[in-house]
Amino acid sequence: MKQDLFLKILVWREKHIKEKNFILILSFVVGILGALAALILKEVIHLIQNLLTDHFAVDGANYMYLLYPIIGLLLSYLYVHYIVKDNISHGVTRVLYAISQRKSRLKPHNMYSSVVASSITIGFGGSVGAEAPIVYTGAAIGSNLGSLFRLDQRTLMLMVGCGAAAGIAGIFKAPFAGLLFTIEVLMIDFTAASIMPLIVASATAATMTYIISGGEALFDFVQPEIFTFDRLPYVLLLGVGCGFVSLYFTRMIYFLEGIFKKLKKPIWKFILGSIVLSTAIFFLPPLYGEGYEAITRLLTGDVTSITEGSIFYTWRDNFSILVLYLALIVLFKVFATAATNGGGGVGGTFAPSLYVGCMFGFLFAFLINHFDFLPISVSTTNFALMGMAGVMSGVMHAPLMALFLAIELTGGYSLFLPLMITSAVAYLTIRVFESHSIYAMRLAQKGELLTHHKDKAVLTLLKMDSVIETDFLVVHPEMTLGDMVKVIAKAHRNVFPVTDNEGKMLGIVLLDDIRNIMFRPSLYERFHVSKFMTMPPGKIEVGMPMEQVMKIFDETNAWNLPVVDENGVYVGFVSKSKIFNSYRRVLVHFSQD
């Protein structure tokens, strides 16, 4: 009965509401739901943190820092493993994968599971951000709402982008950043068909958050001094420094994730993650949770207060100790983040990149002001904000998003130019060493990343299974020329794969190579396939990215290449003409608005 009623609603909608208008309505709904999810996530995280840490002493070490993160990792792991029963880590990467595979279908539980798991993880001290989980949640809301109304694949991908934009806009009160996140990070094409739904979703989510939580920016920021151009050399130097910090952050995260992947048993991952995370937070309490309180303090110029609750508190007025403290935070934040996710927690690297950038920018200015031989001093507050934009730009490979996010988080519009310079220089610096963002590099290495480059995007959408041809007749090395002629009589191809008894590829026989002897019966018993077979100019492995397949075709100038599995067993052939036909078909679909 309910199913029939819903089908009637779908039919009525199709008759009375145009597709473009309906997409705008859905993007509005997604914006509201994304904002509500972001608000719930933030409130639950703060509630748990306040309950656990409000009574902590400020003038010395707090040993519960050794326990709380372990409890958080354990509860998160039990929830994900026994209740969700699905991998929900690396939320942004999973959204990127859904888009790259042209499916854009996320499971219904993703609309809430990441919110629950990350609330527990971060509330108990996990040193990660809530932004990746809320992006995953928002994208899942868009995906499932689109699937409910039977939207096609291209529109479904747009709804995923709307959900992600709503999540970012809602949690940061940053509509521009939400819009630019989908374009620069998720790589949703910026077209006439996509721009309005993304704007509607972002603006709606940000407005909802403003209405419910107030109109003030997320971080208190008062610019202590006007930026002047004599500080420009320091801004350029900061941008380069942020680029290298971004490179350290990205490469170290990837390296540490590899260590956790090598640990096959979850218990060992949990033990290693717990030890690293709890130890890091005990010695460096600002690593607890998202770290937004530490960012707020630095943006107001209050550096000594970030030592509260630590063994460094006694030396809070010592310059050398403060420099060491800030440097250790910059270096070990990445370890705490990787340990949180690797140990069973759920969270993202969005907030950690902001956090590291703020710490590095403040430390950079703090050191400059200490050296008397330098001609001018700089504002530690301004440079902390620039550092946030710089490191985020490098880590995310999203200079525009980083620029507008830093401004929308603080209201620092008067620093637009130095923020732009820092963001651009940091991005250009890391691009020399790393061509993909921290989210995209996991997919890029597997050849599963969809990009704005149309040729590469279409090749990514092409799958090996769709172009493999299996109607080639197989021959064996012990067969005689006479046997070969009998096979040729039945064949429709002029290439014959040669395999052993186990099916492993040994070579090929080309009809042109034996044309001069195949009509001489006197040679039928004298020659064997092993005598006249040749090696193919190249081989394609099953699962190889299509972009790499095309490179092999270009290098070999071949029109047909054999396909083998990881054990060298013959699977079929791939022809260049088949790829071109499939390419044209996908390109037509891909290019439609």
Q: DSSP string covering 72-137, please?
A: HHHHHHHIIIIII-S---SHHHHHHHHHHTT-----GGGGTHHHHHHHHHHHTT-SSBSHHHHHHH
* CB distance 103 to 152 below 8 Å: no
With a CB cutoff of 8 Å and minimum separation 6, the contacts of 150 are 10
Q: What is the pLDDT of residue 188?
A: 64
d(CA 38, CA 172): 9
Domains of the chain, by residue range, sit at: 2-213, 229-449, 456-591
Q: How far apart are CA 270 and CA 471, in angstroms?
A: 50
Is 456-591 a CATH 3.40.50.300 domain?
Answer: no
3-state secondary structure 300-333: CCCCHHHHCCCCCHHHCCCHHHHHHHHHHHHHHH
**CA 559 to CA 432: how far, in whole Å?**
35
Q: What are phi and psi of 462, to 5 degrees?
A: -70, 135
Task: Please identify, in words, the CATH class of the domain defined by 2-213.
Answer: mainly alpha
The model carries a pTM of 0.76
For residues 207 and 251, the answer to whether their CB atoms sit within 8 Å is no
**Closest by CA position to 326, among listed 370, 270, 272, 260:** 370
Decide the pairing of beta strands 560-564 and 540-541: parallel
Strands, E, within 407-547: which ranges?
A: 468-469, 495-499, 505-510, 540-541
Q: Provide the strand spans (E) within 394-494.
A: 468-469
Any residues with CB less than 8 A from the CB of 158 and at least 6 apart, and which? Answer: 23, 188, 193, 194, 197, 198
Tens digit of pLDDT per residue, the chain (593 long)?
Answer: 555 676 777 677 777 778 788 889 999 999 999 999 999 999 999 999 999 988 888 888 889 999 999 999 999 999 998 998 887 777 677 777 776 655 567 888 889 999 999 999 999 999 998 888 999 899 999 989 988 887 777 788 888 889 999 999 999 888 989 988 888 877 666 666 778 999 999 999 999 999 998 878 778 777 777 778 888 999 999 999 999 999 999 999 989 988 998 998 999 999 999 999 999 999 999 999 888 889 988 988 888 888 888 888 888 888 999 999 999 999 999 999 999 999 989 988 888 999 999 999 999 999 998 887 677 888 899 999 999 999 999 998 889 999 999 998 888 788 889 999 999 999 999 999 987 777 766 655 555 444 444 444 444 444 656 678 888 899 999 999 899 999 988 888 888 999 998 889 889 998 888 888 888 888 888 888 888 888 888 888 887 777 777 778 778 877 788 889 888 899 888 887 666 655 545 544 444 44
The amino acid present at 470, given as its one-letter code, is: T
SS3 240: helix
Distance CA 254, CA 261 (A): 11
Query: Regarding the domain with residue range 229-449, which homologous superfamily does it belong to in the CATH classification?
Result: Clc chloride channel (1.10.3080.10)
Domains 2-213 and 456-591 agree in fold: no
Q: What sign has the CA pseudo-torsion 264, 270, 275, 277?
A: positive
> In angstroms, rounded to a whole number, what is the distance separating the alpha carbons of residues 384 and 363?
8
Res 271: pLDDT:
94
Cα gap 358→392, rounded to integer Å: 10
With H, G, I as helix, E, B as strand and everything else as coil, classify residue 161: helix
Question: Two tokens at 404?
Answer: 């507008």
